[in-house]
Amino acid sequence: MIPENFPSFQKTLEEAKPSSAWPLPLQALWYDARGDWEASHDIAQDLHTPMGSWIHAYLHRKEGDDWNAKYWYSQAGKSFPNYGLEEELKLLVETNLQ
């Protein structure tokens, strides 16, 4: 079952893994929220969609690779954000829950 909102998404972080019924972008965000950047990146880099590019950009921004992040934000049709990573994660999750 897909979470209804960000707080219910956060509660799923107590589980061992995300639901395989979830869309791949949401699974990628779950792994990132659990601190598994590599698993999140593995999923995001194979998502050839604007959302996949946005998640990919966020992940590279998070690791401090702004040059790579800017490329992926461009691919997603987004500007480099001027807000924090936590806010961006929440926005990404909420966008994927709609």
DSSP track, the chain: ---SSHHHHHHGGGSSS--TTS-HHHHHHHHHHTT-HHHHHHHHTT--SHHHHHHHHHHHHHTT-HHHHHHHHHHHT-PPPSS-HHHHHHHHHHHHH-
Q: The pTM is what?
A: 0.95
Please give the average per-residue pLDDT across 11-34, as a whole number.
97
Sequence letter at residue 91: L
Percent of the chain with pLDDT over 90: 98
Residue 98 pLDDT exceeds 90 = no
Whether residue 1 is predicted with pLDDT greater than 90 in this model: the reply is no
Q: What is the pLDDT of residue 80?
A: 97
